[in-house]
Amino acid sequence: MIESQLPNSWKIALAEEFDKPYFKELQKFIEEERKSKVIYPPQEDVFATFELTPLEKVNVLILGQDPYHGENQAHGLCFSVKPGVKIPPSLVNIYKELKDDVGFDIPNHGYLVAWAKQGILMINAVLTVEAHTPNSHKNKGWETFTDAVICKVNQKEEPVIFVLWGGYAKKKLKLIDTNRHTVIQSAHPSPLSARNGFFGSKPFSKINSALRQAGKPEINFQLPLISQQRAVSS
């Protein structure tokens, strides 16, 4: 059972979802897909974001849409790729905005695990995808599951910062109590839309400002370099 990968806080919070018919159908669908197709991320990475950021540690939620569908890219965190994989265009733009916003030094990789370990839940709305086929697992049940995740984060007593980039993510605003939580919205960092409101939106300094106001530790967005042996572009 793939939910066995979850840490206890998430397992308890989402226990009801695992018993629902849609989730059982979703599991069955993914198991069948993996028999005959290449599915990303690998099964052991599907819930990586939850393993890295237990529910009690979530201070920020960044929502993506669909996992990367190229070889060795997706590993369970939205916008992040494994060491050694070329930095995708949306993440290139995220790095540009980080540099302009908080003086970020652009690293030699796109591996964002250091952010997740600081309390940023980096989740896609859909958690699996067929190789080279974007949105192939859309409307199979993942959206119901990740909506439940957003609702559980929304139920936290202390304030959380929700980062919604692009029209798809902004649709989730209805799941968030904006009286208790901070929402940061802008255009998506994709090359198709970054110049229409993502560049210059300063989301990272806004995240840290909101964390300060909530009495929580700021995020150190600066990513450490990874040795060239691990970070050769593919």
**pLDDT score of 2 more than 80:** no
pTM of the predicted model, to two decimals?
A: 0.94
Task: Yes or no: say if 3 and 27 are a contact pair by the CB < 8 Å rule.
Answer: no
Identify the pLDDT of residue 201.
98
Domain spans of the chain, in order of start: 2-213
Looking at every residue in the chain, the average pLDDT score rounds to 94
Q: How confident is residue 6, by pLDDT bands cut at 50, 70 and 90?
A: confident
CB 99 within 8 A of CB 71: no
Task: Name the catalytic one among 19, 45, 66, 177.
Answer: 66
Q: For residue range 135-192, what is the model confidence (pLDDT) as tens digits?
A: 999 999 999 999 999 999 999 999 999 999 999 999 999 999 999 999 999 999 999 9
**Residues of 119-135 as b/e, b for ≥16 C-beta within 10 angstroms?**
bbbbbbbbbbbbeeeee
The pLDDT value given to residue 41: 97
Q: How high is the pLDDT of residue 1?
A: 53
pLDDT of residue 226: 87
Distance CA 3, CA 6 (A): 6
Averaged pLDDT for residues 193-203 = 97
Is residue 69's pLDDT more than 70?
yes
pLDDT at 12 over 50: yes
Contacts of 26 (CB under 8 A, 6+ apart): 140, 141, 142, 145
**3 pLDDT band (50/70/90 cuts)?**
low
Neighbouring C-beta atoms of residue 104, cutoff 10 Å:
17
Residues of the chain above pLDDT 90, percent: 92
Cα 187 from Cα 97, distance rounded (Å): 12
pLDDT, residue 5, reads 73
pLDDT level of residue 234 (50, 70, 90 thresholds):
very low
**Residue 227 confidence (pLDDT):** 78
* CB atoms inside a 10 Å sphere around CB 206: 16
What pLDDT is attached to residue 233?
Answer: 38
The answer to whether residue 66 is catalytic is yes
pLDDT value of position 7: 87
Question: What letter does residue 195 receive in the DSSP assignment?
Answer: G
| Spatial separation of the C-alpha atoms in residues 11 and 161, rounded to whole Å | 22
Residue 82 tokens read as 């494994």
Kindly report, residue by residue over 75-133, the tens digit of the pLDDT.
999 999 999 999 999 999 999 999 999 999 999 999 999 999 999 999 999 999 999 99
CA separation for the pair 60, 162 (Å, rounded): 6
Taking CA 224 as the corner, what is the angle to CA 169 and CA 189, rounded to the nearest 5 degrees? 25
Question: What fold does the segment set 2-213 form as a domain?
Answer: Uracil-DNA Glycosylase, subunit E (3.40.470)
